[in-house]
Structure formats: structure tokens, C-alpha cells
């Protein structure tokens, strides 16, 4: 699994969450909502990595998924993009070939 964050999505997180360099943002699985696996969805929180499964740094901020949440992606990469019409980030699950 690879984690990709577009510049537009990163800028939104930086602004909306008032993040500065050396901040960390975790993508984690939560019960409920609509997502990649029925009955579960992704959520975010500012937190320090413990056992990161996938990480990417952009503008000095670390974005990551913990090892304990890797099951959710089952052979998929996560692309975090930005929807200009909705003015919010969107999660795209890209099947690994």
C-alpha cells in the first residue's frame, strides 16, 4: 500500500487544521460511514506515528496510516485528492496491479 497526497489536499489540511511543519496527520479506520469496506470509513486525527505502515511527507507534514489499519486497504493504494466543487478532500482507493 502506498499513500499519495495531492498538493491541493495537503494545503486544505494545513489550513483547516492549522497544521505547521513537523505535524503528523493519521488516516485511521472507524466504524460506520461509507468507505472502502462496507460498515467502515476513514477518519483523520493529528497524532504521532507508532507503527506506520505507509507514510508520505509534504510541506514538512507527515501523513500516515498505522500498521493496525493496513487491513482496510487490501491491495489498494490511498490517494487523497481535493474536490474543488465540494471544497474538501476526497479518498480514492486505487487497486494495486
Per-residue DSSP letters for 39-59? TEEEEEEE---SSEEEEEEET
Please state, in angstroms and rounded to a whole number, the distance separating the CA atoms of residues 89 and 35: 14
**Quick one: pLDDT band at residue 40, thresholds 50, 70, 90?**
confident
3-12, 48-57, 70-79: which range is least confident on average?
A: 70-79
Q: What pLDDT score does 42 carry?
A: 93
The CATH number of domain 3-95, selected from 3.40.1120.10, 1.10.4080.10, 3.20.20.140, 2.60.300.12: 2.60.300.12
Neighbours of 75 (CB within 10 A): 9
Please state, in angstroms and rounded to a whole number, the distance separating the CA atoms of residues 22 and 30: 25
Please say if the pLDDT value at position 38 is more than 80.
no
Longest dimension (CA), the chain: 36
Amino acid at each position: 500500500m502506498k499513500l499519495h497526497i495531492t498538493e491541493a489536499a495537503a494545503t486544505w489540511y494545513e489550513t483547516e487544521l492549522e497544521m505547521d511543519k513537523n505535524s503528523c496527520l493519521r488516516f485511521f479506520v472507524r466504524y460506520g460511514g461509507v468507505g472502502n469496506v462496507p460498515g467502515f470509513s476513514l477518519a483523520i486525527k493529528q497524532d504521532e506515528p507508532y507503527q506506520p505502515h505507509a507514510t508520505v511527507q509534504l510541506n514538512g507534514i507527515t501523513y500516515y496510516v498505522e500498521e493496525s489499519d493496513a487491513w482496510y486497504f487490501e491491495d489498494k493504494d490511498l490517494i487523497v485528492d481535493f474536490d474543488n466543487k465540494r471544497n474538501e478532500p476526497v479518498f480514492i482507493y486505487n487497486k494495486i496491479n
